[in-house]
Structure 1
Amino acid sequence: MTFHRTKWFRYAGWLACSLSLWGGLQAQPLTIEAAVDQSLRQFPTLTAQRSAIEALRANVAVLQANRLPNLRLHSQTNIGTANGLSGSYFSLGLIVPTSGARRAENSGSLATGNIALATADWEFYNFGRFRAEDQLLRADVAVGEAQFDREQFSLRQSVVGAYLDVFWTQQTLRLEGQNLARVDTVRRIIGNLVRNGIKPGLDSSLANVAFSRAKLAYQRVEADYQQARVLLGTLTGQSVATLQIDTTFRADPLLTSIPPVQSTLNHPLLRVAERLVSRQTVEIDLIRKTALPRLSVLAATWARGTSLGVDNEFGSLGSGLGYSRTNYLLGVAATVNLPDFKRAGARVRQQQFRIEQARSQLAAQQIDLQNTLLGADAQLVVVGQQLAELPNALRAARDAYAQRLSLYNNGVETILNLTDALNLLIAVEREVVQTRTEAVRLRFQYAQATNNFEDFYTLFRR
């Protein structure tokens, strides 16, 4: 049992590294670009944004339908009394109008009536309000499209970040597995020497402590690795049980400098603010035009019948069911509400403050992007120097460990010196991974600031 456990720890690093190969027999390893594409195709927030944009575009048909002429048809047949009296009143939609001659007394006799009515009205000119509404709608669609692009950009950031977490924790897991196997080898050698009386028992105790610490370090990284896989699987819609990423990585491009880029124009993070400024400006034009007069064409025709005679006598009820009189009416109306000019002025002033707010937000975002770009440039220079030096440090640490192990086996070195060499080696190996992680993070930051991911993706292409 001890042999199998020791053998497993010896090859733990190899198992972690070959995990993706084993998964590749079942499914194609997921590349960083494929992970982004899958998320952009199926993630719910983007689906909601697409629906919102389509709703804005569908509003074009709503506006066009609202501008069609109104054509109303109406017909009614009535029976009731017909007693009129001089005077004026506000109907308020509650009093039923009655048309009949004035009489000295109130009569309970019934009269019938019949009326058919057709009316039409069309607002054919309003000094550009329709055009302003169309422009505002197009501006709303443009803002929606910019928000969709920003959502895509943010999702790409999340997916790439999750992918890099899986990638680097997998690399660290392989590294910790190698260290675990290395510590286990030293532990077994020391155990044999102690059992043969060549080394003191203290050496075996220290070796067991180092082995336990290496095992704990491996388990901590393994927990981080599984957590990172869960997040990536959630973002890409893949099962965590079968999720395996492509481990292709090219470190050489990290040593090359990036051509300086000064402009951050047409960036998804800026596009929303830019289009909001345009949208708020267009709305000012619409606000002003809503207060202008509206010109309409009006038309009506109607036919009417009544059982009342020309001398106001009550006739047979059936005589009122036909039509005996017809009329028509045509007109052009101009409508303006004078207080609307004052209301529009107040709304325009309010809108101007909103435009200034949007412009200030745009300027702040431009500064943030430029600072991000400059910061990435400055840090990449230092990290590039570290990357160039790390191979020398790694080679020296490996040589020191090999020499200390050889001297220990020959009884020249102590267990403490051997442990120091082993700790130094793992520290340098971890620093290699950490420095590469930082270099890739800065390249990703540079890609985000410039909205150009092509050079970044080449780091992970075969």
Structure 2
Amino acid sequence: MSMEQAIEASLSKYPSVTAQRAALAGFRASTQVLKDNRLPNVRLHDQVDIGTANGLSGSYFSLGLIVPTSGGRRDENRMDLASGNVALATADWEFFNFGRYRSEDRLARADVEIGQAGVEREEFMLRQAVIGTYLDLLWLGQILRIEGRNLARVDTVSRIINNLVRNGIRPGLDSSLASVELSRAKLNYYEIDEGFRRAILRLGMLTGTNASQLEIDTTFRAQALLVEPNEVKVTLNHPLLRYQNSFLGRQMAELEVIRKAALPRVSLLTAAWARGTSLDINNNFGPIGSGFGYSRTNFLVGLAATVNLTDFRRSKSRTTVQQWKVREAGSRLDFEHLKLENTLATSDSVLATLRLALLELPTAIRSAESAYQQRLSLYNNGIENILGLTDALQLLTRVEKQAVDIQRRTVETRLQRAYASSNFDDFFSFFRRQ
């Protein structure tokens, strides 16, 4: 599995990205809910009733509990039954509100934008996690090979020393020291191997791959690190900046909604109703069945303008709070932009020094290998002691590890440039087969 394949696998399967995409789908669906809420309210109602009809003058608040009764006023309370039939159709439509609908539409679009930016940010951070884990595997694999070579060298030297000790050419102390060095080399190998296996498990979790079947492509073009990097810049298209910018836009859109919420609302009202009753024009009780038809019809059309004066005070207070939220979002955007700019500038300044270190590596490795071979030859000829040979072994291993560490730091610095600019083309080229 190459680095880019690992990233693609994680983006398609990882739960956090899936959750962000579901949230984005929810934001997009909510725009239709907003449009549906603005449709006119059209209600149909019909009821057939039977009961008494005793009226009495007076005013009251019904509170939704008192059943209204329409009937003539009489000297006595009568329990004769009367029937009635009422059919009602009403419609109301808030068709003008001084731009509140437009501001709500902008807020809904801002929610969609921030959802999209959230998906991109989550994908960006997941990409960083996959690259980091992949690089851990790459470096640990190289260190593991170095420790393996060191273990092989120590084992060879240990066999030579033991043979010399058995033949009485070297003292027994050399054998003991060689045994200690061999055990130390094995422990170092086991420690690195443990870290390598843990990194395999992490990458398997990120990519949704069985760790036992996972093997990374170890292609690494180390010489390409010496090539001057392309010039890159921090732009607002960066996923982290896009998210912060979208959040700022969302806060500004909400500020506009708050300002529009207190303005008057103009609605179109219509109603039509029909009614029947078994009471005649003189409020005399007639046959029950006569009340089930319709004998009167009415309609009503009107315009209504509604404004709550107290809403202006409430809107002012909410506007003040929202303005502070807008400033907070703006500050976060500026701070994120500054961090990326500093990351890019720092990376560019460090690369110059690292390039010098890369140029020095071949000389250091050749010298360490030469020193080891010379010390081994001197030891075999009885001129060098075991401590000098052990020092040469350890020096060679340290230089080999240092070479990997310098390459690792250079790659991490290149990764920081890619992170700051969100341009990974140059970085991925180090791990692509030619």
User: Under a length normalisation based on structure 2, what TM-score does the superposition of the two structures give?
Assistant: 0.98
Q: Please, which of 88, 97, 117 is the counterpart of residue 68 of structure 2?
A: 97
1:122 lines up with 2:93 in the alignment: yes
Q: Which runs of 4+ in 1 moved over 4 A?
A: none
1:53 lines up with 2:13 in the alignment: no
Q: Which amino acid aligns with 2:132?
A: G
Once residues 400 and 324 of structure 1 are traced to their aligned partners in structure 2, the CA distance between those partners, rounded to angstroms, is 117
Q: Which residue of 2 aligns with 1:311?
A: 282
Kept after mapping to 2: 8 A contact 1:264/1:369: no
Offset of 1:127 from its aligned partner? 1.3
5+ unaligned residues in a row in structure 1: which ranges? 1-29
Q: Please, which of 47, 56, 74 is the counterpart of residue 85 of structure 1?
A: 56
1:241 lines up with 2:193 in the alignment: no
Q: Within 5 A, what are the aligned runs for 1:200-219? A: 200-219=171-190
Q: Which residue of 1 aligns with 2:78?
A: 107
Once residues 254 and 284 of structure 2 are traced to their aligned partners in structure 1, the CA distance between those partners, rounded to angstroms, is 61
Q: Which residue of 2 aligns with 1:76?
A: 47
Q: Please, which of 30, 36, 55 is the counterpart of residue 65 of structure 1?
A: 36
Once residues 366 and 300 of structure 1 are traced to their aligned partners in structure 2, the CA distance between those partners, rounded to angstroms, is 58
Q: Please, which of 170, 178, 203 is the counterpart of residue 232 of structure 1?
A: 203
Once residues 402 and 358 of structure 1 are traced to their aligned partners in structure 2, the CA distance between those partners, rounded to angstroms, is 63
Cα deviation code 1:288-342 (max 9, x no counterpart): 1111111111111111111111111111111111111111111111111111111
1:450 lines up with 2:421 in the alignment: yes
Q: Which residue of 2 aligns with 1:429?
A: 400
Offset of 1:122 from its aligned partner? 1.2
Q: Please, which of 161, 179, 184 is the counterpart of residue 150 of structure 2?
A: 179
Kept after mapping to 2: 8 A contact 1:125/1:296: yes
RMSD: 1.0
Offset of 1:260 from its aligned partner? 4.1
Q: Which residue of 2 aligns with 1:10?
A: none
Once residues 358 and 439 of structure 1 are traced to their aligned partners in structure 2, the CA distance between those partners, rounded to angstroms, is 34
1:350 lines up with 2:350 in the alignment: no
| Equivalent pairs, count | 433
Once residues 350 and 65 of structure 1 are traced to their aligned partners in structure 2, the CA distance between those partners, rounded to angstroms, is 30
Q: Within 5 A, what are the aligned runs for 1:236-275? A: 236-275=207-246
Q: Which residue of 2 aligns with 1:336?
A: 307
Kept after mapping to 1: 8 A contact 2:234/2:340: no
Kept after mapping to 2: 8 A contact 1:264/1:370: no
Offset of 1:262 from its aligned partner? 4.4
Q: Which residue of 2 aligns with 1:393?
A: 364
Once residues 236 and 318 of structure 2 are traced to their aligned partners in structure 1, the CA distance between those partners, rounded to angstroms, is 31
Once residues 293 and 218 of structure 2 are traced to their aligned partners in structure 1, the CA distance between those partners, rounded to angstroms, is 90
Q: Within 5 A, what are the aligned runs for 1:143-154? A: 143-154=114-125
1:161 lines up with 2:112 in the alignment: no
Q: Which residue of 2 aligns with 1:196?
A: 167
Once residues 55 and 265 of structure 1 are traced to their aligned partners in structure 2, the CA distance between those partners, rounded to angstroms, is 25
1:139 lines up with 2:105 in the alignment: no
Offset of 1:255 from its aligned partner? 1.4
Offset of 1:280 from its aligned partner? 1.2
Once residues 233 and 213 of structure 2 are traced to their aligned partners in structure 1, the CA distance between those partners, rounded to angstroms, is 43
Kept after mapping to 1: 8 A contact 2:234/2:420: no
Q: Which amino acid aligns with 1:209?
A: V
Once residues 367 and 4 of structure 2 are traced to their aligned partners in structure 1, the CA distance between those partners, rounded to angstroms, is 37
Q: Which amino acid aligns with 2:208?
A: G
Cα deviation code 1:68-105 (max 9, x no counterpart): 11111111111111111111111111111110111111
